[in-house]
Structure 1
Amino acid sequence: MALLCINYNNNNTIMKKNTFFNALIFLTVAFISCKKIPVNIPDPVKPVPADTSTRRDFKIVFENLDNSQVGQDSLIAVLTIENAQTSAGDANISIPVVFNQQYRTGTLTLAKGNYTIKKLMLKNSTGIVKFATPVAGSVKASSVNKPLNIAFILDDKTEKTIPAEIIAVSNADTPESFGYPAGSFGNRNPETEMDKLIYIRPIIKVGDIIYDSVPVQLIVKSWDAKNEMTYNIHYLPAGTQAVYLSAKGQKHQLSVSKWGAYDEIILYKNEIQENAVYDIGGEVAAQKLKTVYELKIVGNTSTALTKTDYSYQPDGAVIQRQVMAKRADMSNYIAQKDLYEYTNGKITTIRSYDENNTLFKTTTVQYDNTGGRIIAITEAGNAVNINAVVNYTLLDTRVGISQDYRIDIQYNYSDGRPASYFSKTMYGGRVLTDVRVSSNGSREEGMYNYDSGINPFVHLAIPDMELTQYTKHNLEVQWKTWYGGYPENEAYAISYVYGTGGYPKEVTTKYRSYNTKADTYSIRKVFVY
């Protein structure tokens, strides 16, 4: 990676600030003459196409809704959808309304087929309906160009956008004037029993890792005094979220199914504690990485770069990592082998060997006595020793049960060079921002967006000098600001193919020239579990 600086005769350096997508994957293969060890790197299994199911995504856009109408209120879309292919009954769905140039729902997912929207309302945080789409034939139907019912077809693989008109609901309006059953607009009569407000906090344990900041689909089944059941789907964003339980319900079953984990709560009417927080989520065993293939794609040509294999102890702890690579003549060799030693269930020593099976680096790790967090890492190599001292600062925010925090690391070198620094802010198991300051004074700042999938490396719990093992999810987008130069190539697009259980099957990162913006190459990783 080339860095460009402008130097003047007085030895002062003008630091040039540039912003770019930082390279996600960096690989260096040494082309040196040495003994060959015949190891085959097989071609990775051809990945399953991205479209592996019959389910389709869609969203509803409220074309005539603007900020002057919404104000500071947070809204939840409540809709009833009829499936023309089944007689299983209508689907009642709740999902937050978001703003991205227009007000719209989050992404919804249903099986391919023909559907009809029969009810569409927007509730505020207290459960009162503020906006609704009237039904054809109702008093309010003439207020919109396209009243309900709205029919649509889910077939295309791309996300479908469904436009809808919505009008304000005043205190004098009745549900009947919109074509809805009485009571549909919430409690506008103080003598009427109100729906019960509770809070749901999804917590899913995958292996030893707690995921408390992931979106989930909450299913609520409610039975009234006549034992008639209503079925509601709530799309909950990450973190603790408010849910209203029907006042008519005598019994409620709340369930969450995600990544193979399942959990449910049964609440009878007299047991509901209003404003209480209920944890739900379940537990599932972690999938362990067996092999990671890495390939470089230039144009239509794909070249295998490395094959990384992981070996495990009977208790599931990783014991070895072996990296096979390609020489310049495309012959194979073992580039590196790492052996892991444990103390009290945590990796405390990593011994790294080169292709000649010669020890070239020993990494030792220290943990605190309470939370088991890393507080120091030392790399003892042939040329220089690096000592990293780690500090943690708790932040005021938290998404689930885990408090957010900042990690600060100082690196000291045995060859006398100045110390370098690294700091990153962790939010909900994701890196929010980070800062690097090198020994020569150059500086790099980053901001990041992560998806809600499972990072397979977090379950290996292998320490490194930047503590990447604390990141629970997978990087989608990153923005970088450099002081002192810019890279020759920048990563500008990251895409994943996910398999079962929330794990990625592959990730492809596209690179382009920083100066010309022309595509240069892609790096593709294929994961085998």
Structure 2
Amino acid sequence: MHPLHIRIISLLAFVSFFFASCRKEDPIVTPSPQPPSQPSTKSNLYQFVIANLPRESSTGSSSLYAQVMIVNEQNQTVLDNVKLPLQFEGNYKTSSLELPDGKYRVVKFLVNNNVHKTLFVAPVIGSEKALLVAKPLHISYSLPQTALVPVQVEVLKREIGDKPESFGYPSWAFDPVDGPTPPDQGNPFFKIKLRAYAQIGDIYYDSIPATVKLTILNNYGPVTQKTLDLTAGTNEIEIPKAAHSYTFEFSKWGINSTMVLNHEQVREGEVYGIGGKMAPKKIKQEMVYRLVNGLYVPERKVEYNFYSDGHLHRIDYYDRQDNGQPQLVRYEFFAYNTDNKITRIVQYSPKDVFLVNTEFLYDIMKRPYAIEHTENGVVTNAFVTYYQTPGRNNAHIKYSYSHNSNTMDYNQIYEKGNLVESSVAANQSGQKGLYQYDFNINPYIFIGRPDLYLSNQSKNNLVSQQQQYTGSYPNAYPYQSDYTYDNNGYPKEVITVYLSPATNSHSYTLKTVYTYF
């Protein structure tokens, strides 16, 4: 050790010893005489009183005791399952007890015999049996008072077949000594799993964030309310075992749903779904604007028309003229099969000149497996193979063309109902894409319009994508989108930024505004 360190340590030891040796003894303080205490006019004494035990002898029963739990204003237990002998003096009473000043609640009150069999029960408010008494638990009282406080308790006789749950108690609450042991007494909470969902039309959204209001009707305390912020997917939550029931209230996208679990219905580790159904909204119109010199200028418009049964009837496509007015440039009609799936899309010019024809065949799962697309005299055939890998649904599309021998392979990978990866291989050209989504509703999936590339099959909205190209590439692709939503989870508008693959820089920005039927 360095000599300086030794010197410092030695000095500290010396100083400590010096002060310890020189410390004065603490003086002995003799308290001043106090005048004798005056009798208090307040009392912190109380006792429990039962007017009668139903169908018991009017002369009373011996060897009975009350099993009681009391909590304070902060819901802290101050008497925990204490056993109090009952004395019969025309009614049943416990001996007097004492607690500090405060407000208290009786949250459990059982009457047991000398072999610890529960004979009478004070029901908890909100329970099935609570309607049979005038004043169910939780009974409140405060201390001090001017005299001994009689806490009146009303009990019911436990009949054959009565379960603790009907009185508002856990299933193991009765017959405390020789009855069943409460499960996992060391942990006062159930751990369950909660998953929010919404079914919009035929589309199931089971991976969405949501806010759920939880109301707990406690056995040993007041009603408790809390807000659960659920993340997308399965959430593990804790709920107290000492409760009568749990009410979960879900509200999202205009769907309101309530799920009530009684204590006996709760299963540790079980997944509970909470949510509801809603009919889909259909797009009426989309307006597309281009950002030019800081202003959004109208560029094109699309209008959708549906049959009265909700199926797509016609789509009109408009472009902006030089005078700023929209002009119809093409429109589409649709044919359906007996499963209400589109089997044919025919596109015409404003003067009813044929432009494009696309036909679809469906497999037993009602998915397109063969597509024939005719445009400008060229026929493109596509055959789709569907298969699954762990956690993913996959589609492989093989394209061939009537005017040459070229082919193209397009692979799609879906997770949780969204396209997350894609790859294209075609004659010295290729593409690889990665896609990310939010949790809201993609309105195009409810139109029911398929296309040659199986676009708009994702149930959520695309917020960003990354593309890698080899060989040929497009002038720009949409790499980032920012949405504004309505209260039903549908986009009101989206601002999409396009990137140039050639320069890897911003190309242009579009804004799309939606209206719905």
TM-score, scaled to structure 1: 0.60
**1:470-526 deviations in whole A, cap 9, x for unaligned?**
211111111111122555545454211112200111111123555666654311111
Once residues 489 and 361 of structure 1 are traced to their aligned partners in structure 2, the CA distance between those partners, rounded to angstroms, is: 25
Deviation at 1:410, TM superposition (A): 0.8
- Alpha-carbon displacement from aligned partner over 1:393-445 (angstroms, at most 9, x marks no partner): 11222xxxxxx30111111111123111111111112221111223x321110
Cross-structure match for 1:456: 443
Separation in structure 1 between the aligned mates of residue 225 and residue 277 of structure 2, nearest angstrom: 24
| Amino acid of the structure 2 residue aligned with 1:278 | Y
Distance 1:513 1:394, change over 3 A: closer
Query: Aligned to 2:494, what secondary structure does the other structure show?
Result: strand
Match of 2:107 in 1: none
- Quick one: distance in 2 between partners of 1:513 and 1:463? 27
State the secondary structure of the residue aligned to 1:458. helix
CA distance in 2, matches of 1:353, 1:490: 27
CA distance in 2: counterparts of 1:477 and 1:293, whole angstroms: 21
Offset of residue 377 of structure 1: 1.3
Q: Is the 8 A contact 2:296 2:511 kept in 1?
A: no
Could you list the per-position Cα deviations for residues 74-128 of structure 1 after superposition, in whole angstroms to 9, with x for gaps in the alignment?
xxxxxxxxxxxxxxxxxxxxxxxxxxxxxxxxxxxxxxxxxxxxxxxxxxxxxxx
Question: Residue 441 of structure 1 aligns with which residue?
Answer: 428
Q: Is the Cα–Cα contact under 8 Å of residues 262 and 283 in structure 1 kept in the other structure?
A: no
Please name the residue that 2:418 is paired with. 430
Structure-2 separation of matches of 1:217 and 1:375: 40
Q: Do residues 418 (structure 1) and 413 (structure 2) align?
A: no
Once the two structures are superposed, residues 237-288 of structure 1 have per-residue CA deviations (whole angstroms, 9 ceiling, x without a partner) of 2222222221122110112211111222111111212222222210111111
Confirm or deny that 1:363 pairs with 2:351.
Answer: no
Does 2:456 correspond to 1:469? Answer: yes
- Cα distance in 2 for partners of 1:293, 1:287 equals 17
SS of residue in 2 equivalent to 1:481: strand
| Separation (CA, whole Å) in 1 of partners of 2:491 and 2:399 | 33
Q: 1:518 to 1:430 in 2, by over 3 A?
A: closer
CA 1:469–1:223 in 2, change beyond 3 Å: closer, same or farther? same
2:198 aligns with 204
Match of 2:207 in 1: 213
**For residues 363 and 191 of structure 1, what CA distance do their matches in structure 2 show?**
66
Cα distance change of structure 1 residues 366 and 487 upon mapping to structure 2, 3 Å threshold:
closer
CA distance in 2, matches of 1:492, 1:373: 28
8 A contact 2:253–2:487 mirrored in 1 = yes
1:511 aligns with 2:498: yes
Q: Which residue of 2 aligns with 1:336?
A: 330
For 1:126-165, list aligned pairs within 5 A. none
Distance of 2:222 and 2:503 partners within structure 1: 65
What secondary structure is seen at the aligned counterpart in 1 of 2:283? Answer: coil
Of 278, 281, 293, 1:284 maps to: 278
Q: Does 1:254 align with 2:248?
A: yes
Distance 1:492 1:433 in 2: 14
CA contact (8 A) 1:224 1:251 kept: yes
Gaps of 5+ in 2: 1-182
Q: Distance in 2 between the 1:465 and 1:512 partners?
A: 24
Q: Do the aligned partners of residues 193 and 331 (structure 1) sit closer, same or farther apart at CA in structure 2, a change above 3 Å counting? A: closer
The SS at the match of 1:468 is coil
Q: Partner letter of residue 244 of structure 1?
A: E
- Matched with 1:83 is none
Within a 5 Å distance, the mapping from 1:23-172 to structure 2 comes to: none
The correspondence for 1:243, drawn from 218, 229, 237, is: 237
> CA separation in 1, counterparts of 2:310 and 2:184?
58
Structure with more contact order per residue of length (Cα contacts < 8 Å, sep ≥ 6): 1
Aligned to 2:375: 381
What is the rounded CA distance, in whole Å, between the counterparts of 1:454 and 1:325 in structure 2? 27
2:341 paired with 1:346:
yes
Where 2:225 maps in the other structure, the secondary structure is strand
Q: Number of residues paired by the alignment? A: 334
CA contact (8 A) 2:215 2:225 kept: yes
Q: Secondary structure at the match of 2:456?
A: helix
Q: Which letter maps to 2:425? A: V
Q: Give the letter aligned to residue 457 of structure 1.
A: Y
Letter in 1 for 2:360: V
Q: Give the letter aligned to residue 434 of structure 1.
A: S
> Deviation of residue 324 (structure 1)?
1.1
Q: Specify the alignment match of 1:408 in structure 2.
A: 396
Q: Deviations over 1:16-58 (max 9, x none)?
A: xxxxxxxxxxxxxxxxxxxxxxxxxxxxxxxxxxxxxxxxxxx
Alignment partner of 1:325 out of 296, 314, 319 = 319
Q: Is the contact between residue 300 and residue 326 of structure 2 (CA under 8 Å) also seen in structure 1? A: no
When residues 359 and 503 of structure 1 are mapped into structure 2, their CA distance, relative to the original with a 3 A threshold, is same
Q: CA contact under 8 A between 1:298 and 1:520: conserved in structure 2?
A: no
Q: Is the 8 A contact 2:332 2:347 kept in 1?
A: yes
2-structure distance, mates of 1:312, 1:367? 22
1:443–1:482 contact (8 Å) kept in structure 2: yes
The question of whether the paired residues in 1 share the 8 Å contact of 2:248 and 2:258 is answered with: yes
What is the Cα deviation at residue 381 of structure 1? 2.6
Cα distance in 2, alignment partners of residues 267 and 385 from structure 1: 59
2:454 partner letter: L
For 2:343, the aligned partner's letter is T
1:348 alignment partner AA: T
C-alpha distance in structure 2 between counterparts of 1:190 and 1:276, whole Å: 16
In structure 2, the partner of 1:118 is: none
Does the 8 A contact of 1:299 with 1:521 survive in 2?
no
Once the 2 structures are TM-superposed, how far is the Cα of residue 202 of structure 1 from its aligned partner?
A: 2.4
Q: Which residue among 490, 493, 496 is the counterpart of 2:483?
A: 496
Instruction: Tell me, in whole angstroms, the C-alpha distance in 1 between the residues paired with 2:271 and 2:503.
Output: 53
Change in 2 beyond 3 A, CA 1:514/1:386:
closer
Tell me if the contact between 1:219 and 1:233 (Cα under 8 Å) persists in the aligned partners: yes
Distance 1:508 1:465 in 2: 26
Cα distance change, pair 212–359 in 1 and its aligned pair in 2 (3 A): same
In structure 1, give the amino acid aligned to 2:389.
L
